[in-house]
Structure 1
Amino acid sequence: MYAILTENDISQWNDISGVKYHFPKRYRDYLLPGTKVIFYKGTLKNAEFKNKRLSSLPHYFAYGVIARVEKDPQSNKNDFYAFFSEYKKFQRAVLAKEGGRFIEEIPATRKKNYWRDGVRQINEKIFFAIMNKSDLDITHGEVGSESKCEYSEGDTLSI
């Protein structure tokens, strides 16, 4: 499985970038151990954070794999935390929109509110489209190898 996780510059949760990520139960089926995630930041809203981001524009900035999921012991709404076994920051931003087109495929029924979701399930094609634009070299889902993953529509990859 693959997902996008939105990380806000200011959060009300006890998130630690690349270590743990808080989420409500409605995303529980998307964030399972082994899920490969890409971290995303929306448009910069507070200039105070400009030097802590790769871009002021909406962008993807890191890769991770969920190691485990635990209930938030202080939540009365059945919230969870995802913990990561792998986390690699990109050295440069991968912009969410290039040439007037978004990398993520936005369903017609979600055009007005797609970006509100803090967790977005994506498919393998979108995952590799983002990863191949990053500075992380991947082959069949493994970070740190020497070549980019080749992916064409219709390909099947083993991960």
Structure 2
Amino acid sequence: MTKAVFTTKSASSYDDLPEVRYHFPKTYLNQVERAVGDWIVYYEPRRSSNDPASRGGAQVYFATARLVRVAPDPTRADHFFAEVEDYLQFTRPVHFREGSHFYESGLEKPDGSTNKGAFGRAVRNLSDAEYDLIWAAGFGHIIGAEPRLRLAPDIPEAPLQPIPGFSEEGSKFIYDEPLEQDRRIIEQLTSRPFRDRAFAAAVKDAYLDTCAMCGVKIINGGGRSEVQAAHIRPVEHRGPDSVRNGMALSGTFHWMFDRGLISVDDDYRLLLAKDRLPDTIDRFLGGNERLLVPKRPDLRPHPKFLAWHRSNVFKG
């Protein structure tokens, strides 16, 4: 087994749903099969679509997942699906190059420039050490290596702490304990407390610590926000820890959402089980009739997760 990088565009022509599957041509079958049973990292390229002139991609590693199997595409010859589980979005997107350090050594030429030929490959195998450095950068807030990167800069954060097993010399990152550190990382990635913290941080950042239904933002004296990170499709029903499967909700609206008293249509219109709610619900909503979604489309609730909630939870 070996780890891998999967490149996916926000407007891909492939049948990707990164939380569940990655669609790819036979060209990359060997690299993908080598990673079955191990962990992969998702990367967003510069181009946001297949149009050579398109731009807008963030050029960042943005999530990780465990690759569980590869299956042929029954409708498209010489294409396959890489099926994943344990998807988890980074709390900080990681640029492929920070300073003079390339997270993937294969992307760096001897003169320090970017190897565009290697960069052009949609699937690239990754060493444990390279994966672990991306993981540490992506979850720095969760493991105590850096403060939470909020879009509200007035909120105080804890001081920086060193990452166990890592040191820094100049702009180069030195990886100290590859086997043991990688083992500890995998243990955390499958730990529910770690995943809950990472999911909550990513969702709250996407929604600016504001309830997506009532629009209220409350920060206590310690800098902690009142909103909670709610799964649309619950984890116990195979819902992924993805921002697109989440919303920031105040405690009251989280309770109502989980009990099917309120839901969301595909156009983000709020749906109320009015025969089960008091008339005063309109005052709680503050006049909002639609969900307050993130500005970035790729962070908004995905229609498949919203449809699951309406079909399986909503009592309207």
Match of 1:14 in 2: 15
In 1, the alpha carbon distance for the partners of 2:47 and 2:100 equals 19
Match of 2:6 in 1: 5
Task: Report if the CA contact (8 A) 2:11-2:48 is conserved.
Answer: no
> 1:45, CA displacement in angstroms?
4.9
Match of 1:100 in 2: 100
In 2, the alpha carbon distance for the partners of 1:23 and 1:126 equals 23
In 1, the alpha carbon distance for the partners of 2:83 and 2:37 equals 11
Once the two structures are superposed, what CA deviation does each residue of 1:27-61 show, in whole Å capped at 9, x if it has no partner? 22222331210011122658xx97xxxxx531110
> 1:155, CA displacement in angstroms?
3.5
Superposed CA RMSD: 2.9
Percent identity of paired positions between Structure 1 and Structure 2: 25
Task: Report if the CA contact (8 A) 1:128-1:149 is conserved.
Answer: no
Alignment of 1:2-151 (within 5 A): 2-32=3-33, 33-43=36-46, 45=48, 57-76=58-77, 78-106=78-106, 108=109, 111-135=115-139, 150=165
Structure showing greater Rg: 2
In 2, the alpha carbon distance for the partners of 1:128 and 1:118 equals 20
Query: Which consecutive residues of structure 2, in runs of 5 or more, have no partner in the other structure?
Result: 50-54, 144-162, 167-174, 187-316
Match of 1:155 in 2: 178
Q: TM-score, normalised by structure 2?
A: 0.40
Length, aligned pairs only: 143
Query: Which consecutive residues of structure 1, in runs of 5 or more, have no partner in the other structure?
Result: 51-55, 139-147
Higher RCO by CA contacts (8 Å cutoff, separation 6 or greater)? 1
Over 3 Å counting, the alpha-carbon distance change for 1:24 and 1:44 in structure 2 is closer
Higher-strand-fraction structure? 1
Task: Report if the CA contact (8 A) 2:67-2:84 is conserved.
Answer: yes
> 1:149, CA displacement in angstroms?
6.3
In 1, the alpha carbon distance for the partners of 2:18 and 2:5 equals 14
Once the two structures are superposed, what CA deviation does each residue of 1:68-105 show, in whole Å capped at 9, x if it has no partner? 211011122x2110111110011221111111332111
Higher-helix-fraction structure? 2
> 1:111, CA displacement in angstroms?
1.9
In 2, the alpha carbon distance for the partners of 1:75 and 1:95 equals 33
> 1:114, CA displacement in angstroms?
1.2
* 3-state SS of paired residue (1:38): strand
